[in-house]
Amino acid sequence: MTSHDMVEYRIAHLLDRLAREDLAELGVRVEAHGAGVLVRGGVSSPECRAEVLRFAAEELAGLEWREDVTVCRPGPPDHSEELS
């Protein structure tokens, strides 16, 4: 198995874990970028974000990886927008 295949295998394992665990975050993307991995997307809460990053740290241990996971507000805005 090549190192690229091993990275792809670990990415697939992380995506499977994200889909089957209680948090079931399907809005998160995990992509190989050269020798590293990028975890990105939007999640519903800060707790969910922390859990996604914990899973990524466990599944991608030993690999270089970066994250761009943001918390998306699921409800309507709490204030009106001022238009000029």
For residue range 45-84, list pLDDT tens digits in order. 899 999 999 999 999 999 999 999 999 876 666 777 788 7
Q: Is residue 80 part of a domain?
A: no
> Which domain covers residue 31, as residue numbers?
3-71
Q: For the chain, how many structural domains are there in total?
A: 1
Domain assignment of residue 43, yes or no: yes
3-class SS letters over 46-72 = HHHHHHHHHHHHHHCCCCCEEEEEEEC
Residue 79 lies in a domain: no
CATH number at residue 38: 3.30.1340.30
Q: Quick check: is 45 in a domain?
A: yes
Per-residue pLDDT tens digits for 16-51: 988 887 766 678 999 998 879 999 999 888 999 999
Whether 57 maps to a domain, the answer reads yes
pTM for the complete prediction?
Answer: 0.79
* Separation between Cα atoms, residue 74 and residue 44, nearest integer Å: 7
